[in-house]
Structure 1
């Protein structure tokens, strides 16, 4: 079940969401221009390395000695680095789908601060789970997880178009399901994956995903604009909307 769009249009322009996407894409294009050794040095310098921040553990074998011990600003800079095309494409798709509605519910300044706070909280959750990890943590997924948590609190009944591959009929289909189902399934998947993985090893930072999601659910309580309700009820759909299919199917 892979989300590709939502049917939850709101009046306004999500400039901050677009800005975060643009920043991540521009940084990624810069990464592509670097040779492998230089890119590795960037990851270790601007990624969040738990062992460096906590003063525990040892440097990863063969890692460049470029970290600045105790540089907590890497909790923010790490959000704009990505390890490959699939990494950034998946993150930016989720931010594109869910970020606009959350931003419009909070306002630009609040959403900017909310996004950064969720990213920091997500990184701290991963560091708490593995304080001696010597591998750099990079990616916007922790902050985006916070956006998903906020979306669940604001629009649990919002309709999300997802791509599915039903078995045994191997035919791609697009269906609409409530956001609570999509995001709830995503959260449970992250939680279970985290339980069966070693946070000290390189790979997906499941603890960051869980931590960011929970932070988003909590912070939206104070970050949303006055008058914006939680758990918004589904709006009635016209017959035309019920018949209409999106651009993906």
Structure 2
């Protein structure tokens, strides 16, 4: 387990990370509709979640589903969450890491970056759901079935995490590890630990209810896109910020 708490990296180019905060508000409001709205949670997931078998035209939902063109569920599923714990975990990552990534890109590029990472992550999950890891392995080692809906901002968040560790690898962040141990570690150690957990869980199939391959797909997408989309990154400022934050207080 890895749960980020605080990094303290100051913003260099903007006063407020408008997009990151707006995404948090939007996801929270949508979850309130998900929980309290007129439609049931099953209807919301069926209408806006990503179902790999439906995306590839191998199966079809009842009339009226999904609520948007099938290809758009690559995007709409990003804003749905299955529980408050699911939502809070994703939004905490976005709160801690999103502001500095938005600062390095600007508002519009960050929004495009987040949505692209989420959509690519969703597509990777959809493709992976048709693959079996290892011939002859038991069902517990199979990837999620193509009929299981995917929802959540984890893929977009994973892209933000990748961008952050590339931009600020040596910044020390406070986080909870392994069930609640508070530690202050360089970003490359903390995020490296998180990435190792994602890889191990994807390979071992530890919980087919979690989109591990979506996390990995989003991370790779973020690592590829950040060099292309950042335009406000100053390595000198990054090193100065890292040195300042590493100074004992």
- TM category (shorter chain) comes to 0.7 to 0.9
Shift of 1:220: 0.2
Alpha-carbon distance in structure 2 between the residues aligned to 1:139 and 1:41: 16
Determine the structure 1 residue equivalent to 2:195: 187
2:22 is equivalent to residue 19 of structure 1: yes
Alpha-carbon distance in structure 2 between the residues aligned to 1:96 and 1:141: 13
Note the 1:103-118 alignment, pairs <5 A: 103-118=102-117
Note the 1:84-99 alignment, pairs <5 A: 84-99=83-98
Q: TM-score, normalised by structure 1?
A: 0.83
Alpha-carbon distance in structure 1 between the residues aligned to 2:245 and 2:23: 34
Q: Secondary structure at the match of 2:5?
A: strand
CA 176–227 in structure 1, closer or farther in 2 if over 3 Å, else same = closer
Deviating beyond 6 angstroms after TM superposition, the runs of 4 or more aligned structure 1 residues are: none
Shift of 1:68: 6.4
Alpha-carbon distance in structure 1 between the residues aligned to 2:185 and 2:245: 17
2:35 is equivalent to residue 32 of structure 1: yes
Shift of 1:230: 9.7
2:12 is equivalent to residue 4 of structure 1: no
Determine the structure 2 residue equivalent to 1:133: 146
Asked whether the equivalents of residues 3 and 160 of structure 1 are also in contact (C-alpha less than 8 Å), the reply is: yes
**Farther off after superposition, 26-35 or 106-115:** 26-35
Q: Could you give the per-residue CA deviations for residues 126-167 of structure 1, whole angstroms, max 9, x where no partner exists?
A: 01101461121100000000000101111101110022469x
CA 64–2 in structure 1, closer or farther in 2 if over 3 Å, else same = farther
What RMSD, in angstroms, separates the aligned Cα atoms of the two structures? 2.7
Alpha-carbon distance in structure 2 between the residues aligned to 1:238 and 1:82: 34
Determine the structure 2 residue equivalent to 1:66: 65
2:81 is equivalent to residue 79 of structure 1: no
CA 229–124 in structure 1, closer or farther in 2 if over 3 Å, else same = farther
Bigger helix fraction = 2
Gap runs ≥5 in structure 2: 131-144
Gap runs ≥5 in structure 1: 167-171, 244-249
2:237 is equivalent to residue 237 of structure 1: no
Q: Could you give the per-residue CA deviations for residues 82-138 of structure 1, whole angstroms, max 9, x where no partner exists?
A: 000100010000000000000000001110110111001100110110146112110
Q: TM-score, normalised by structure 2?
A: 0.83
2:165 is equivalent to residue 152 of structure 1: yes
State the aligned residue count.
231
CA 190–83 in structure 1, closer or farther in 2 if over 3 Å, else same = same
CA 52–68 in structure 1, closer or farther in 2 if over 3 Å, else same = farther
Asked whether the equivalents of residues 58 and 134 of structure 1 are also in contact (C-alpha less than 8 Å), the reply is: no
Asked whether the equivalents of residues 52 and 70 of structure 1 are also in contact (C-alpha less than 8 Å), the reply is: no
